[in-house]
Amino acid sequence: MKQSLMCIKARVRHPTDETIMRKAFSESLSIMALGCSALLLYATGCARAPEAPPKQVQINADDKMKFDLTAFEAKPGQKISVTLKNVGTTPKFSMGHNFILLDRTVNPGNVQAFLDKASTQASHDYVPPDAKEVLAHTKLLGPNETDTVTFNAPFVPGEYLYLCSFPGHYSQGTKGFMTVK
């Protein structure tokens, strides 16, 4: 019996110090790699997006109820200055123009609800004061007047409708899209 026990012991392979060290090193290396990956993800995931230079946008509105610029692009968070100029000659009370940038939830399919609210707000330049969908706007302009509004583009990419909310103007063409990408 003693001899068969010795035989079994001889067949069982015991780990050497070198094998134990290799296994420990391999496990330590895996843990360090995981930790470095987590640290890198944290550092880059929480960093601010690179800032784009400020963008100047010039839009002219005329007596034909059209914006001369119907599209422009912006980067997420980019500082934008939109200058609207009324190049028409018709008096403000019958042909005023404004620039209103709306949230991306407002689109050509559902904008009429906003326009209906705006049409009752002549005393507020046709901008409903409680409208959460308004991201930025200018004042209502008469002939040869100019106004500038400065804002940061939304961080969510997509198309953002802008328009003139003076009654009847949207349907005639005073509209466009700011595309954030």
Give the count of alpha carbons within 13 A of 66, CB side only. 3
Helix, strand and coil content of the chain, in percent to the nearest 5, comes to 30, 25, 40
Q: Across residues 13-25, what is the average pLDDT?
A: 62
The total domain count for the chain is 2
Residue 155 contacts residue 76 (beta carbons within 8 Å) = yes
* 70 and 20 within one domain: no
DSSP 131: -
Q: What pLDDT is attached to residue 90?
A: 96
* 96 and 27 within one domain: no
- Token pair in block for residue 49: 């997006």
The CATH number of residue 77's host domain is 2.60.40.420
* 8 and 84 within one domain: no
Global pTM value: 0.72
Q: What pLDDT is attached to residue 51?
A: 72
* 66 and 127 within one domain: yes
- Token pair in block for residue 149: 């509004």
Sheet of strand 55-61: strand arrangement: 55-61, 79-86, 146-152
DSSP 124: G
* 143 and 91 within one domain: yes
Least confidently predicted of 27-31, 60-64, 76-80, 163-167: 27-31
Query: What is the per-residue pLDDT across 88-134, written as a single tens digit (0 to 9) for each?
Result: 999 999 999 999 999 999 999 999 999 999 999 999 999 999 999 99
Q: Would 176 be classed as within a structural domain?
A: yes
The boundaries of the domain holding residue 23 are 2-45
* 70 and 129 within one domain: yes
* 108 and 70 within one domain: yes
* 39 and 9 within one domain: yes
Q: Would 50 be classed as within a structural domain?
A: no
Backbone angles phi, psi at 100, to 5 degrees: -130, 125
Query: What is the per-residue pLDDT across 169-179, written as a single tens digit (0 to 9) for each?
Result: 999 999 999 99
Taking the CB of residue 153, how many other CB atoms lie within 10 A of it? 24
pLDDT over 90 percentage in the chain: 71
* 117 and 93 within one domain: yes
* 41 and 61 within one domain: no
Q: Would 10 be classed as within a structural domain?
A: yes
Residue 156 contacts residue 180 (beta carbons within 8 Å) = yes
Q: Would 90 be classed as within a structural domain?
A: yes
Alpha-carbon distance of 131 to 79, in angstroms, equals 22
β-bridge partners, 177: 71, 161
Q: What pLDDT is attached to residue 28?
A: 61
